Amino acid sequence: MQTAVNLWPLIGVAVIVAGFVLRFNPMLIVAAAAIATGLAAGFTPQHILAAIGTGFVKTRNIPLIILLPLAVIGLLERHGLRERAQLWIGNIKAATAGRLLIVYLLVRELTAAVGLTGLGGHPQMVRPLIAPMAEGATENRFGKLPDAIRFRLRAFAAATDNVGLFFGEDIFVAFGAIVLMVTLLKEAGVSVEPIHVALWGIPTAICAFLIHSTRLWLLDRWLERELGGAQAEPAANGAQTGAARAGDEA
């Protein structure tokens, strides 16, 4: 005999979506979603406050873990980490933004697949190293970059980190999402081993790597069209001017 499932606690998801659409404070959105979910599940106000307090006590060290690396990275940037990264990649003549990001995508997926998700990330890897290196490789080939090109390279660097982490960690057998899927399937009467779920994430990760690598290869082609053409125009104008002057002198 099947029992009815109470779907009202899912109202917390609607609260989060509505809050972000209306651009409210994220902390207020999360708190409101937690309270709405607890009330919809039939919790008493005391039970909700106790659950929030327990969660806060268990995770009170997380801000310290996050802030300490950010302070170290900020100190390194202050002493020229970004500039050094740009100079180093500029010495590699064959380096392009697309090739660099493809290599980073591969490394990010492989390390995430073995559980080393903390080796990358936007604040500790993309902003101080990967994005400046992509900009440096492009500047080495085409000279000074317009702001629109620079921002586009930064967006691709951030997207590469996201794709590598998201699809790489699905292969790690102890990843929380895999454990959650296995638990839900067992509750539904389907017995499956975590290793099998992780193995089926490999084809998806390979496809993600190939698709995003193609996008990065197309990025190089786009940069060639945009910046190569911009360089050719001044050269052509200079040649025309020189020919005109030679004709006038003749």
Specify whether 117 is located in the same domain as 177. Answer: yes
pLDDT in tens, 74-89: 666 676 666 777 676 7
pLDDT in tens, 218-238: 999 999 998 876 555 554 455
Return the pLDDT at 81.
67
Specify whether 156 is located in the same domain as 212. Answer: yes
Q: Which of 16-30, 134-148, 153-167 is the most confident on average?
A: 153-167
Specify whether 139 is located in the same domain as 31. Answer: no
Q: How many domains does the chain have?
A: 2
18: its two tokens: 């509505």
Q: Is 194 exposed, middle or buried (0-12, 13-18, 19+ CB in 10 A)?
A: middle
Three-state DSSP at 135 gives helix
pLDDT in tens, 180-194: 788 878 887 888 888
Q: What is the pTM of this model?
A: 0.65
DSSP characters over 50-119? HHHHHHHHHTTTHHHHHHHHHHHHHHHHHTTHHHHHHHHHHT-TT--HHHHHHHHHHHHHHHHHTT-GGG
Return the pLDDT at 184.
79
Examine the pLDDT at 210 and tell me if it is beyond 90.
yes
Specify whether 15 is located in the same domain as 100. Answer: no
In a domain, 1, yes or no: no
Specify whether 178 is located in the same domain as 81. Answer: yes
pLDDT in tens, 134-148: 998 898 888 889 999
Return the pLDDT at 66.
58
Specify whether 86 is located in the same domain as 12. Answer: no
Specify whether 83 is located in the same domain as 185. Answer: yes
Which structural domain, as residue segments, surrounds residue 39?
A: 7-57
CA dihedral 176, 102, 223, 232 (to 10 degrees): 170
176: its two tokens: 């929380």
Specify whether 38 is located in the same domain as 130. Answer: no
